Amino acid sequence: MEKTKIRPAETRDREELVKMRLQMQRHMEASNPGIWRITEEGMLQTGPDVDGTLSDEDGRVLVAEEDGMVIGFAHGHVARRNAYTPRVVGHIKTIYVKEPKRRRGVGSRLVKELCLFFRAEGVEEVNLRYVLGNKEAEGFWRSLGFNPVIQTANTPLDALERRLKIRPEQSKPFKKTF
């Protein structure tokens, strides 16, 4: 059995994090054709997005490494708020483990390390989002006790207008009032 090391991500991990983020996007798109699809511009934005993640002052990015190769990563972020309880929430923003390394406890180890970070930050509750139809994510998160509490749904505007029987000639330019 290979020895997996979990460590904080470093700038030198950037390119591998970008690759894994794009692999995760492809996996999610294959899991559910209804989700938003990444564009060429979105792919180009992935690097700067990873840079932002690595510099997240309220977050922690971890990588799983075997034999000097990054095989997975996780990003957790802490939000503090006064308008709702719980007041301190840990968000698991992203977690991804490369295909041949899944189902070996790597994801659980990444989540354990995020939990240590969350505890140190006073987090009261942890939340996350995953794509419906991503069976691996659904099973993994359910096994850790996560239960859906909010459903996000979408439909193309054209389809909604057809269902509402809105005719094109009824559409008028919207005047902003602010």
Instruction: Give the domain CATH number at 79.
Output: 3.40.630.30
Q: Is residue 170 part of a domain?
A: no
Q: Residue 151: which pLDDT band, with cuts at 50, 70 and 90?
A: confident
Q: Is residue 168 part of a domain?
A: no
For the stretch 161-174, pLDDT in tens is 889 988 776 666 66
Is 60 exceeded by the pLDDT of residue 92?
A: yes
Cβ atoms of residues 146 and 128 within 8 Å:
yes
Predicted local confidence at residue 29, as pLDDT: 93
Q: Residue 9: which pLDDT band, with cuts at 50, 70 and 90?
A: very high
Predicted local confidence at residue 154, as pLDDT: 87
Mean pLDDT of 28-53: 94
Is 60 exceeded by the pLDDT of residue 78?
A: yes
Q: Is residue 172 part of a domain?
A: no
Q: Is residue 174 part of a domain?
A: no
Q: Is residue 54 part of a domain?
A: yes
Quick one: how many helices (H) and strands (E) in the chain? 5, 5
For the chain, what is the domain count?
1
Q: Is residue 122 part of a domain?
A: yes
Cβ atoms of residues 113 and 74 within 8 Å:
yes
Amino acid code (one letter) for 67: D
Q: Is residue 167 part of a domain?
A: no
Q: Is residue 175 part of a domain?
A: no
Is 60 exceeded by the pLDDT of residue 1?
A: no
Which domain covers residue 110, as residue numbers? Answer: 4-152
For the stretch 104-145, pLDDT in tens is 999 999 999 999 999 999 999 999 999 988 999 999 999 999
Structural tokens at position 98 = 């490369």
Predicted local confidence at residue 152, as pLDDT: 85
DSSP assignment of 85-147 equals SSSEEEEEEEEEE-GGG-SSSHHHHHHHHHHHHHHHTT--EEEE---TT-HHHHHHHHHTT--
Predicted local confidence at residue 156, as pLDDT: 85
pTM for this entry: 0.86
Distance, CA of 29 to CA of 135 (rounded, Å): 13
